[in-house]
Copies of this chain bind each other. A is one copy, B any other.
């Protein structure tokens, strides 16, 4: 469904300008490349302190946290009606280091409310703000459908036996904590959920599982257990989609987990070529399962 929507969005929009509000990582560049391949005129607006040098490969500009007026001006000058908000943010904005411009000042009370809430709220408020002003927020996966997986094996064989049971258990746990808007990932090993993700994020959770194994609080031999990652059922995927990437795969071999179970269409695979190659090389499976908001 995501792929269909994308093909339609891209084919309908050849030549139409697209603005990409980019934080860190490689994914903004994948989106920019996919949009350019579809004949669109791309502007990347890089978030200072987050976006990397690589955005210079595309027409680009920089903005600071809080410079909403500047961002809107750049989007308008580019002639874009559609905006993709994408990339990893290493830390939550801090008002003391925030560059406040006129556009921000006008909307500050609402943004402050947003920033005091969960992560979802910050982005949801930005989207509402943009849409009230006539822009359309587009999901990165709508522009670059390869960012997400179809149901089935992505790397290695489909899990079976104990690994399949752990995948189901971890996916169910991740769904449970997603429903209460806390986290998107969980680890199950030999029939037991050993870690639930909250504010620490997936990488730190995997480091924790490594520590639990090293200090003997959780024991298993060889490679066993599954990291599950999925969207929150109520998540706005245009704004915030969970992701796996090479670093996630690297952790699987290091921690001794057998593989990764993700939700088809609703979890991003960053740097897909490298991620899949690394998984195959290190004997780690990546498996995508159907299971949208309504599924168990």
Q: How far is the CB of A252 from chain B (nearest CB, A)?
A: 18
- Cβ-closest chain B residue relative to A181: B193
Q: Is B192 within 8 A of A118, CB to CB?
A: yes
Q: Check A208 for interface membership: any CB of B closer than 8 A.
A: yes
Q: How far is the CB of A234 from chain B (nearest CB, A)?
A: 15
Q: How far is the CB of A294 from chain B (nearest CB, A)?
A: 19
Q: Is A191 within 8 A of B94, CB to CB?
A: no
Q: Is B182 within 8 A of A199, CB to CB?
A: no
Given contacts A173-B182, A180-B172, A217-B91, contact A212 B199 (CB under 8 A): yes
Q: Is A117 within 8 A of B192, CB to CB?
A: yes
Instruction: Give the CA-CA distance A81 to B116 in the complex, in Å.
Output: 56
Mark interface residues in A172-184 (1 if CB within 8 Å of B CB, else 0).
Answer: 1100110111110
Given contacts A180-B173, A191-B116, contact A198 B200 (CB under 8 A): no
- Cβ-closest chain B residue relative to A201: B217
Given contacts A200-B195, A200-B208, A218-B199, contact A190 B91 (CB under 8 A): no
Interface size range of chain A in the complex = 35 or more
Q: Check A194 for interface membership: any CB of B closer than 8 A.
A: yes
Q: Check A196 for interface membership: any CB of B closer than 8 A.
A: yes
Instruction: Give the CA-CA distance A117 to B190 in the complex, in Å.
Output: 8
Q: Check A219 for interface membership: any CB of B closer than 8 A.
A: yes
Given contacts A177-B196, A208-B200, A212-B199, contact A219 B182 (CB under 8 A): no
Q: How far is the CB of A248 from chain B (nearest CB, A)?
A: 18
Which single member of B92, B94, B177 contacts A176 (CB below 8 Å)?
A: B177
Q: How far is the CB of A30 from chain B (nearest CB, A)?
A: 26
Q: How far is the CB of A196 from chain B (nearest CB, A)?
A: 4
Q: Check A222 for interface membership: any CB of B closer than 8 A.
A: no
Q: Check A134 for interface membership: any CB of B closer than 8 A.
A: no
Instruction: Give the CA-CA distance A292 to B153 in the complex, in Å.
Output: 43
Q: Is B198 within 8 A of A194, CB to CB?
A: yes
Q: Check A109 for interface membership: any CB of B closer than 8 A.
A: no
Q: Check A216 for interface membership: any CB of B closer than 8 A.
A: yes
Q: Is B217 within 8 A of A94, CB to CB?
A: no
Instruction: Give the CA-CA distance A212 to B183 in the complex, in Å.
Output: 15
Known: A92-B216, A195-B199. 14 other contacts (CB 8 A): A91-B216, A91-B217, A92-B217, A92-B219, A117-B192, A176-B177, A176-B180, A182-B196, A186-B198, A195-B200, A200-B208, A200-B212, A201-B217, A208-B208
The 6 closest A-B pairs by CB, nearest first: A194-B199, A196-B196, A182-B193, A195-B198, A196-B198, A91-B216
15 residue pairs from A and B, CB less than 8 Å apart: A92-B216, A92-B219, A176-B176, A177-B196, A180-B193, A182-B196, A186-B198, A194-B199, A195-B199, A196-B196, A196-B197, A196-B198, A199-B217, A200-B208, A200-B212
